[in-house]
A and B are shown apart, each in its own frame.
Chain A
């Protein structure tokens, strides 16, 4: 996968586009986990949510870059 994409003539690093995609996917997963009530058992729910999102983003980026 290319490291950059051209979007309406603007050359964007893939990082930004993937971030937006991850945001959408992550939001969906977040809703799902919240719906199942798992966050209630977490110690610091916000930290857990942020970490989960970061993991998702990181895995996606590493996959793209390899």
Chain B
């Protein structure tokens, strides 16, 4: 009977030990490996604004359209700017005529004997011609400016990408510098993985990263860089340049999350990414073996 009891105790304890071991392995797997559920796909987003103000006469793209660098996005009414070019051209012509007159005058004075024309008069005529030349240059610059504005009535895509949030339509008045649509740079997609600070020692720049999207697709990439600063949420504001420290502290300390930027390798065929998608990020060192966990307790 005692033997039976001993065996039953030992058996129960063995199963218990196995359970403890499994839970420990699982814990290490879950808590002490470099992965996070909190990953976001991000991209560089260009805010497109018109360089000149005016009525919109043409919107050459529709929302969510793919565009290449240099494609026409929208056209501002060029009439004002054409007139401005003609004005500037007229002013150049006038200045040219005036320069001609002044130069002729100066040449004439120079040819006439010193006894007939005073030295002063001759010198003045030379200066006036120089001033007229400068005026002409100014008018030419204004003409260039007017032509540039005319060219800029056509807003073109600065990068390859996707039009989003198109918020401007024919007939709208576009203010100068006011964003009218966003252009997501097609080549700039990257992933921000928000890793708990306890896992940061497991991550190095250049490590391989695997991303799993919510829809199930997988992406690969490598660690590009680690953020070197996050906002301190517990001490939200500091006035007059002194620290505003919370007088209480958590009973149980919680790890902060630090963003890790991941550069994406070539995307799989047919996969359309959108900035803001959620993904799981799993990071492995290039060797494949996990890094040693620093001793925490």
Query: Which A positions have Cβ atoms within 8 angstroms of B?
Result: 2-4, 6, 11, 13, 15, 41-44, 47-48, 50-52, 54-55, 58-59, 61-62, 65
Contacts and interface: CB of A to CB of B under 8 A. Distances in A.
B212 A2 contact: yes
Contacts of A48: 11-12, 15-16
B173 to A, nearest CB: 41
Given A4-B280, A43-B9, 8 more contacts: A4-B37, A11-B37, A43-B8, A47-B12, A51-B12, A58-B19, A59-B22, A62-B22
Contacts of B247: none
Contacts of B16: 47-48, 51
Nearest to B216: A2
Q: Is the interface of A mostly helix, strand, loop or mixed?
A: helix
Contacts of A42: 8, 11-12
B208 to A, nearest CB: 17
A62 B37 contact: no
B12 A43 contact: yes
29 contacts: A2-B216, A3-B212, A3-B280, A4-B212, A4-B214, A4-B280, A11-B278, A13-B37, A42-B11, A43-B8, A43-B9, A43-B11, A43-B12, A47-B16, A50-B19, A51-B12, A51-B15, A51-B16, A51-B19, A52-B15, A54-B19, A54-B22, A55-B22, A58-B19, A58-B22, A58-B23, A58-B26, A59-B22, A61-B29
Given A3-B37, A65-B29, A44 B22 contact: no
Given A43-B5, A43-B8, A55 B15 contact: yes
Contacts of A61: 26, 29
Interface in B1-51: 4-5, 8-9, 11-12, 15-16, 18-19, 22-23, 25-26, 29-30, 35, 37
Interface residues of B, number: 24
Contacts of B214: 4, 6, 11
B212 A58 contact: no
Nearest to B21: A58
A44 B11 CA distance: 10
Nearest to B22: A58
B8 A41 contact: yes
A62 B28 CA distance: 11
A66 B87 CA distance: 75
B26 to A, nearest CB: 5
Contacts of B4: 41
Contact of A62 (B12, B19, B29, B35): B29
Nearest to A2: B212
B280 to A, nearest CB: 6
Nearest to A45: B12
Nearest to B14: A51
A45 B223 CA distance: 49
A58 B30 CA distance: 12
Nearest to B27: A58
Nearest to B218: A2
